[in-house]
Amino acid sequence: MAVKKAVFAGGCFWCMVKPFETQPGILSVTSGYTGGHVPNPTYEQVTTGTTGHTEAVEIEYDPEIITYAQLVEIYWQQTDPTDALGQFADRGDSYRPVIYYSDEAEREAAENSKQQLQASGRFDQPIVTKIEPRTTFYPAEEYHQDYYKKNKIHYQLYREGSGRAGFLRKNWKD
């Protein structure tokens, strides 16, 4: 089996794990940081906004079961693609939405999907999610991994209270 990896940033990484982890063909989803200039950053460093990192998830998947293009479609449905300055209650560079690509085929798949989403008319505002080359991914601290499983009540309260759950219900109900 050929395993591939994909990296997506869509605001708080806690909320980006479950939607991918529950799909067939997903082998693992790791919360972490990418896109910055500080090696092995900590959560405390990233939240200062000075490291250049975004909170992201790294997804290991079997491309014979789920394609990169399908992962991008799942990604869109977890985010507000019209907000470049963060996601929901989380503001700043470390929460900006980014699709990271590893090669030209992934870049093309992401760009095509973005163009299709823009053309769909689903949103009145432009689709501003960035599509950037993948850089080193650093796993987050253990307490951030599988947060939705380890802290079910806090996760649900955060997902609702941040505005994410309501936005997703309103804009991605189909």
Enzyme catalytic residues: 12
| Strand 86-87 with 90-91, pairing | antiparallel
Among all chains, which residue has been given the structure tokens 């991914």? 137
Among all chains, which residue has been given the structure tokens 């014979």? 64
DSSP letters spanning 70-89: HHHHHHHTTS-TT-TTEETT
Please report how many Cα atoms fall inside a 13 Å half-sphere around the Cα of residue 3, on the Cβ side: 9
Cα-Cα-Cα-Cα torsion 141, 23, 151, 96, nearest 10 degrees, comes to 60
